Structures are given as structure tokens and as C-alpha cells.
């Protein structure tokens, strides 16, 4: 398999974590987002959205969207599980992951920020927008875990929720969000980063880092 990604992409970061947790080795192809390499015709033939990551499978099949890729990995390589067996608990983990991947990340990703810049908004306004999206969304995520014991987001083992949380907290710090306001999230992050599957996936450790 080949993972198409970029070191700073939080969606790629999620998939790297999931691959590490599953103990799966893949080849890597890097696409520099700030140079627009994700819009090259050859890449658009793989992923018409021009987004990363994409996971290229044996036989030429391609999976896109980080959550779909991670769920496929979880179904085809079930150990360790990234979703609980109990339906209610599974729904709560998915809801937490979706709150990050659908309601925080898209508002502050590079595509949106570039559009704001093209509209001639001041860079401080653009950065403040990204910080707001992270801060508001992570506050809701903190509340979603108020009745759940740790040390991870949902119990004593990492789940899809942690896979999504760690990259988003890294994004929040890039935009100067005061993450100390989210002690429960930080506890889960600390537990996750103590595992090599999470720490080895960090952007600063990737071959294409700048």
C-alpha cells in the first residue's frame, strides 16, 4: 500500500497514527500542499477532490477521506480495535471523531485559509478565524468527555477519538490556542503520546518535514 500525504496535514497525521497502531507498513508519497502539488493532474486522477490523504491499495484501488481510510483499516485489521464493541460507546467515539473531522478541521484547513487570504482579509484576521474554530470546537470536545474516565478519550485504550484528537491539538497550538483550558483533552493527549504509534507519527518526524 502507498499513503499519499503531507507532513503537516492533520488528516494524514490521523492515518499515520492508525497505521502505526495496527502495525502496518506502507510506502509514502508526499505532496506539498503549499505548492499546490495535490492539484497536479496525476494526483487528481487518484483523488478527484485534490485532497490528502489517499491510500493506494494493491490492484490500483484508492481510498480517500481519512475517517473512511481508518475505518477500512480497522475492519480489515481488527487488532487493536479503534472502536468499542458496545453500540452506544461506539457511537460516542464516532461522534467525538466527527466533531473534530467535520466541524473543526474543515473550518481551519489550508484551503479555507487560502480563500480568506484571496478575499484580502488581514493575516491577523485569518489566524484569529482558525484559532476561533479550534477553540470553540475543542471546548465542545472537552465537554463531551466530562462523564468518561480516562486516561484516553474513552477509557483505558486509544480509540478513533484519540487518533483524531492528537493532530487537532497540534493544529490548535499552531494557531496559538490556549489549550490548557482543556485539561481532559490534554490528559488523553498525554496518554496517547506516551505510545510510539502516536509519537512516531508526529509531523516533525516525517521525511518531508520542513
Q: Where in the chain is the domain with CATH 3.40.30.10?
A: 2-80
pLDDT of residue 200: 98
Integer Cα distance of 92 and 114 in angstroms:
33
In the three-class reduction of DSSP (H, G, I as helix; E, B as strand; rest coil), residue 62 is classed as strand
Using a CB cutoff of 8 Å and minimum separation of 24, what contacts does 168-172 make? 168/10, 168/100, 168/104, 168/105, 168/134, 168/137, 168/138, 169/138, 170/10, 170/13, 170/202, 170/203, 171/10, 171/105, 171/108, 171/134, 172/131, 172/134, 172/135, 172/138
For 182, the grid coordinates are 482543556
Q: Among all chains, which residue has been given the C-alpha cell 480495535?
A: 81
Q: Among all chains, which residue has been given the C-alpha cell 471523531?
A: 97
Q: What sign for the dihedral angle of Cα 141, 147, 148, 149?
A: positive
pLDDT at 190 over 90: yes
- Select 2-80's CATH number: 3.30.1300.10, 3.40.30.10, 3.40.47.10, 1.25.40.20: 3.40.30.10
Integer Cα distance of 182 and 127 in angstroms:
20
Q: Which fold has domain 87-197?
A: Glutathione S-transferase Yfyf (Class Pi); Chain A, domain 2 (1.20.1050)
User: pLDDT tens digit string along 132-162?
Assistant: 999 999 999 999 999 999 999 999 999 999 9
In 3D space, the residue among 103, 86, 107 whose CA is nearest the CA of residue 95 turns out to be 103
Q: Where in the chain is the domain with CATH 1.20.1050.10?
A: 87-197
User: pLDDT tens digit string along 81-110?
Assistant: 999 999 999 999 999 999 999 999 999 999
Amino acid at each position: 500500500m502507498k499513503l499519499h500525504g503531507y507532513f503537516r496535514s492533520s488528516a494524514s497525521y490521523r492515518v499515520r497514527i492508525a497505521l502505526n497502531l495496527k502495525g502496518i507498513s506502507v510506502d509514502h508519497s508526499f505532496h506539498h500542499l503549499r505548492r499546490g502539488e495535490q492539484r497536479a493532474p496525476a494526483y487528481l486522477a487518484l483523488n478527484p477532490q485534490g485532497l490528502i490523504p489517499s491510500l493506494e491499495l494493491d490492484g490500483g484501488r484508492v481510498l480517500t477521506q481519512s475517517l473512511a481510510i481508518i475505518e477500512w483499516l480497522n475492519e480489515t485489521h481488527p487488532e487493536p480495535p479503534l472502536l468499542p464493541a458496545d453500540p452506544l460507546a461506539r457511537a460516542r467515539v464516532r461522534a467525538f471523531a466527527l466533531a473534530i473531522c467535520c466541524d473543526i478541521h474543515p473550518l481551519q484547513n489550508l484551503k479555507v485559509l487560502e480563500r480568506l487570504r484571496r478575499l484580502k482579509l488581514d493575516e491577523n484576521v485569518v489566524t484569529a478565524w482558525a484559532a476561533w474554530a479550534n477553540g470553540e470546537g475543542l471546548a465542545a470536545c472537552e465537554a463531551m468527555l466530562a462523564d468518561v474516565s480516562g486516561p484516553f478519550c474513552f477509557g483505558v485504550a486509544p480509540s478513533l477519538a484519540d487518533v483524531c484528537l492528537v493532530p487537532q491539538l497540534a493544529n490548535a497550538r499552531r494557531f496559538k490556542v490556549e489549550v490548557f483550558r482543556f485539561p481532559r483533552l490534554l490528559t488523553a493527549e498525554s496518554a496517547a503520546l506516551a505510545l510510539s504509534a502516536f509519537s512516531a507519527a508526529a509531523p516533525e518526524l516525517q521525511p518531508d518535514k520542513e
